[in-house]
Amino acid sequence: MIDKVYQPMNLLLASISVLDNKGAAGVDQQTVENFQAQHLDELRRLEEDLRTESYRPQAVRRVWIPKPGSTEKRPLGIPTVRDRVVQTALLHVLEPIFDVTFAEHSYGFRHGRGCHHALERIETLLQQGYVYIVDADLKSYFDTIPKERLLARVREKVSDSRVLRLLTMFLDQGVMDGLEEWTPEKGTPQGAVITPPTMLRTCSVLRQ
């Protein structure tokens, strides 16, 4: 399975997605513009690093952004551009495996689905006579996901040890906030490409 992750066309498509999304630089200060200027060389280096298992993700740069409707701020992690490309390539391989197992009316962070599909579903239910909507949120969800239990769920679908090691490295990425760096004992990096679509959805059964 790992060979599909570092397949040149997959890395190219992943890099195009990352470059189109723009975004800020990570701890290495490499911007998307810098990456794009050396596009093919960067992709060849990533392919070699992944193939030889010498690839190592860098720490995630932490920034604090305001919470809508609140005076509080929430942490957001910014991986390096190279790490975002690898995470997107990994997502391309893992997403089809897990997506088929999700509930029909789950719309968050799913390929080909979005808020407008959820609104269409609500409109249908309202027309059928339903009158109540439940709005719930899990406090600090990303920060409290147990890593080992998450990986155990992933192992039920993925047997390639190299893919599992790559996922583990992303889970164990350090966090750099100013000059301070540490490795969280639990949770998944907020802001990472791989976190919402794969980690969050895979782990959702742990909360049931």
Instruction: Give 178-188 pLDDT, tens digit per residue.
Output: 888 888 888 77
pTM of the model: 0.82
For residue range 156-203, what is the model confidence (pLDDT) as tens digits? 999 999 999 999 999 888 899 988 888 888 877 766 776 655 444 444
Q: Which helix (H) or strand (E) holds 45?
A: helix 39-51
- Nearest CA among 13, 16, 95, 26 for reference residue 58: 26
How do the residues of the chain divide into helix, strand and coil, expressed in percent and rounded to 5? Answer: 50, 10, 40
| Strands, E assignment, 18-130 | 60-66, 73-78
For residue 119, the Cα-to-chain-centroid distance in whole angstroms is: 24
